[in-house]
Chain A
Amino acid sequence: MTYPPSHSPYPTPGAYAPAVPSYASWIQRVGAYLVDALCVLPFSLLAAVLGQDTDLATGLVTYNAMFYVFTLIGVVVFGYNRWFQAGKTGQSWGRKALGLKLVGTGTGQPIGAGKAFLRDLAHVIDGIICYIGYLFPLWDAKRQTLADKIVNTVVTR
């Protein structure tokens, strides 16, 4: 955080100017996640449309092989995008579209696939407290979610 110099008679333009590094805003991160989710949506839809039947005798929903095939493809695409690629380069497709990067707090470097996976796993903590963890970037100084704090990451732009 930079304060305007005390000797200046006028507020310095951008008194709230982001210090280096500049952290991604909450809405940008939501946007990036939505793009990532959109990449998987076709497979989820195919799994739902082609993979589900209704048992005529009981009226219950049944799942056929297509359901598991498309769900698996969805998981693989999601994992490649958000864990492998984002771990290696810092950018999932969504973050690339929004110009954001996921890096380690201390290193400023991409965090690797394993840690990117752990970070998404840690998002459970963000969700379990009624999703409040996902709102942390609205007020947190480093714009981190709880998952970011756990695995020591920040999202920069």
Chain B
Amino acid sequence: MRTFSVPERLGGFGALVALAATAWPAVTAGTWSLPCPLRTLTGIPCPACGLTTAAIAIVRGDLAGAFHANPLIFGLAAVTAATGPLVVLRAAGALKPPRPWSSPRRRQAGWIAGLLATASWLFQLHRLHTGPQL
């Protein structure tokens, strides 16, 4: 088996998240979700805050609820949805196998991820009323 590329790995992780988000409410019945260590200790949310809630909302089809909890979930959902066909097409030979990104492209992706995390953090600080009201 070939080594999967980073987007494919993220897509695989997204599929696991979707499975867990479908199964989780069935076993817990309540609204309990993973406690955030940073928020528990300091009261400050982190950029990933609300992702458990958002994942459960999105698999239920509650898109507004998912957006309200953490819009980043739509990015993960898009990567996850694209990964299945991508892996199949690559396995069938219809698409070329993935190639490692060049160093500048990696750096660019790092910057984009950093900016997204910052934007998400501002969103969470605003949502949970711990920062300046935007």
Chain B residues with CB under 8 Å of A130's CB are 36-38, 46-49, 51
On whether the beta carbons of A14 and B99 are closer than 8 Å, the reply is: no
**A residues within 8 A CB of B129?**
none
* A13–B5 alpha-carbon span in the complex (Å): 14
* A34 adjacent to chain B (CB < 8 Å): no
Chain A 120-157: CB-based contact to B (< 8 A → 1; otherwise 0): 00000001111110010011000000000000000000
A9 lies within 8 A of chain B by Cβ: no
A25-B3, A127-B37, A128-B41 given; name 9 further pairs at CB < 8 Å.
A14-B3, A15-B100, A16-B2, A16-B5, A17-B2, A18-B3, A26-B13, A128-B37, A130-B51
Rounded to whole angstroms, the CA-CA distance of A38 and B77 in the bound complex is 31
Chain B CB within 8 A of A11 CB: yes
Task: Flag if B48 contacts A3 (CB, 8 Å).
Answer: no
**Contact across chains for A131 and B3 when beta carbons are under 8 A apart:** no
Query: Which residues of A are in contact with B by a Cβ distance under 8 Å?
Result: 1-4, 11, 13-18, 25-27, 127-132, 135, 138-139
Total contacting residues, chain B, CB less than 8 A: 24
B24-56 to A contact mask, C-beta < 8 Å, 1/0 = 000000000010111001000011110100000
Q: Is the CB of A1 within 8 A of B100?
A: yes
A27 partner residues in chain B, CB cutoff 8 A: 12
Q: Report how far A131 CA is from B40 CA in the complex, Å.
A: 13
The count of A-to-B residue pairs whose CB atoms sit within 8 angstroms is 62
CB-based contact A16/B3 at 8 Å: yes
19 contacting pairs across A/B (C-beta < 8 A): A11-B96, A14-B3, A14-B97, A15-B99, A16-B100, A26-B13, A27-B12, A128-B38, A128-B41, A130-B37, A130-B38, A130-B48, A130-B51, A131-B34, A131-B48, A138-B9, A139-B6, A139-B9, A139-B10
Could you say which of B5, B38, B98, B99 has the most chain A C-beta atoms within 10 Å of its C-beta?
B99
A139 to B98, CA, bound (A): 14
CB distance from B19 to the nearest CB of A (A): 13
Q: How far is the CA of A130 from the CA of B54 in the complex (A)?
A: 14
Cβ contact within 8 Å between B36 and A138: no
A26 and B48 within 8 A (CB): no
Contacts of B9 in A (CB 8 A): 25-26, 138-139
Chain B residues 85-105 with CB under 8 Å of chain A are 96-100
Q: How far is the CB of A25 from chain B (nearest CB, A)?
A: 8
Beta-carbon contacts under 8 Å, B2-26 to A: 2-6, 9-10, 12-13
